[in-house]
A and B are shown apart, each in its own frame.
Chain A
C-alpha cells in the first residue's frame, strides 16, 4: 500500500498506527539492521550496571516506526524531509502510538509539499519522540 497524498489539506490526519508491546527482540533486530550495536539496547546486565532498570529502545528505532506510519500514510517515494526530536525513553512492553497532522502546504521545486507534525506517544501518554516531515502531495 502506498498513499499518494492526493487531496491532502491542512488539518488532515493520518490513520493512527500502534506498535507493540515492544520486545527486546525488536531492539536487537533494529541494532542489526541499523548497525548501531550499543549494548545498552539488548544487554540487560550492561544496562542495569549503567543504572537503568532494563534495556531500552533506540531513539532511532522509534524514529523508524514513526517513518513507517508516515510513509504508509503519504507514500514512501514522496518524502523530502523527515525530522525527529528524541524526548522520552521507551522500554520493553511499551505500546507506541504514531499519529500525524498536516500543518502546512506550499509549492516546492518539484511540486506541492505538505508539512506534517508527527508524534509517537507511549501508553501513558508521554511523548517518546516528536517530529515533522515534508511530503510531495501532487
Chain B
C-alpha cells in the first residue's frame, strides 16, 4: 500500500479477559476494568496490532535495528470502547519527515495512525504512533564521552 492509502481493515474484538489482564499489567485496581461492562484502559488498543494480518501493518520501511518509538497517542471520540464491542482497525502513514541527527546523518520520522471504527463505520478511537529511524552515525555512540 502507498502512504496515504489505508491498509485493509481487520477485526478487533474487545475482550473482557484481555482488559483484565492488561489492567493487571498496569497495576490498576480500578473496577472500571472489571466485569462484563469493563471499558478499555487508555493505552489498551495497542494490543490490537497483535491481530493484524501481515499486509495490514503500515510499512515505514525503517531499518529495524535503528527503530525507536518516539511518541504514542490515543484519541477517543466518545467513551472508551467496552468489552464485547467489535471494532475494525486500519492503519495508514499520515506524515513523514526528516531531521539531522545530533551526531550527523539523517534521522527519519513517520506518523502511523490506526483508526478504530464500529460496524456502522463510525470512528470510535484513533491510535497515533510516531516512529523514528535513528541516523546511521548515531549507531556508534561508544566513542563519545558521556
Interface residues, chain A, CB within 8 Å of chain B? Answer: 1-2, 19, 26, 29-30, 32-36, 59-61, 63-65, 67-68, 70-72, 75-77, 79-86, 110, 133
Contact = CB atoms under 8 A, between A and B. Distances in A.
Given A61-B25, A68-B27, A71-B32, A80 B43 contact: no
Contacts of A70: 42
Nearest to B130: A85
B50 A35 contact: yes
Interface of B: 18, 21-22, 24-33, 39, 41-43, 46-47, 49-50, 68-80
B24 A71 contact: no
Contacts of A32: 21, 25
A83 B72 contact: yes
B30 A71 contact: yes
Given A71-B32, A133-B42, 6 more contacts: A29-B24, A29-B25, A34-B50, A67-B41, A82-B73, A84-B71
Contacts, number: 106
Contacts of B22: 33-34, 64
Contacts of A83: 71-74
A90 to B, nearest CB: 13
B69 A59 contact: yes
A76 B33 contact: yes
Given A33-B21, A64-B41, A79-B80, A1 B30 contact: yes
A81 B32 contact: no
B34 to A, nearest CB: 11
A33 B31 contact: no
Given A71-B32, A83-B73, A86-B69, A77 B26 contact: no
Contacts of A64: 22, 25-26, 41, 43
Contacts of B68: 86
A63 B33 CA distance: 17
A77 B69 contact: no
A75 B42 CA distance: 11
A80 B76 contact: yes
Contacts of A86: 68-72
